[in-house]
Structure 1
Amino acid sequence: MLKSEIRKQALKSRLSLSDEEYKTLNNELLKQFIALDFDRVKTIHVFLPITEKKEPNTFLLIEWLTQNHPEIKIIVPKADFDMVIMTNHEYLGIDDLQKNLYDILEPQRGNVYEGAVDMVLIPLLAFDKKGYRVGYGKGFYDRFLESLNAQKIGLSLSSAGNKIDDVNEYDIRLDFCITPTEIIKF
Structure 2
Amino acid sequence: MTKAEIRKVATMQRKWLSEDQIEDYSLQLLRQFSLLDFSSVRTIHVFLPITEKKEPNTFLFIDWLSVNYPEIKIIVPRADFDTALITNYVYQGKDGLVKNLYNILEPAQGELHTGEVDLVLIPMLAFDLRGYRVGYGKGFYDRFLQNIATKKIGLCFFDPVEQISDVNEHDVCLNLCITPNKVYSF
Q: TM-score range by the shorter chain?
A: over 0.9
User: Distance between the aligned counterparts of 2:84 and 2:21, measured in 1?
Assistant: 33
| Residue 89 (structure 2) aligns with | 89
1:48 matched to 2:57? The reply is no
> For 1:75 and 1:19, how far apart are their aligned partners in 2?
26
Q: What RMSD in Å do the two structures reach over aligned CA positions?
A: 0.7
Match of 1:2 in 2: 2
Q: Distance in 2 between matches of 1:23 and 1:113?
A: 29
In the TM superposition, residue 151 of structure 1 has moved relative to its aligned partner by 0.1
For 2:96, the aligned partner's letter is: D
* Distance apart, 1:21 and its partner CA: 1.5
Tell me the residue number matched to 2:116.
116
Post-superposition offset of 1:19: 1.8
1:76-134 superposed Cα distances (whole Å, 9 cap, x missing partner): 00000001101000000000000001110000122110000000000000000000000
Aligned residues: 186
Q: CA deviation at 1:13?
A: 0.3
Deviation at residue 162 of structure 1 after TM alignment: 2.9
Kept after mapping to 1: 8 A contact 2:23/2:56: no
1:64 matched to 2:74? The reply is no
Q: What are the ranges of 5 or more consecutive residues in structure 1 without an aligned counterpart? A: none
Q: Which amino acid aligns with 1:169?
A: E
Q: Distance in 2 between matches of 1:28 and 1:59?
A: 14
SS in 1 for 2:106: strand
The equivalent of 1:107 in structure 2 is 107
2:168 aligned with 1:168, yes or no? yes
Give 1:156 deviation, angstroms.
0.5
Q: Secondary structure at the match of 2:83?
A: coil
- TM-score w.r.t. the length of structure 1 is 0.98
Runs in 1 of length 4+ with deviation above 3 angstroms?
none
In structure 2, runs of 5+ residues without a counterpart are none
Inter-partner Cα distance in structure 2 for 1:21 and 1:152:
25
Residue identity (%): 59
Matched residue of 2:11: which SS? helix
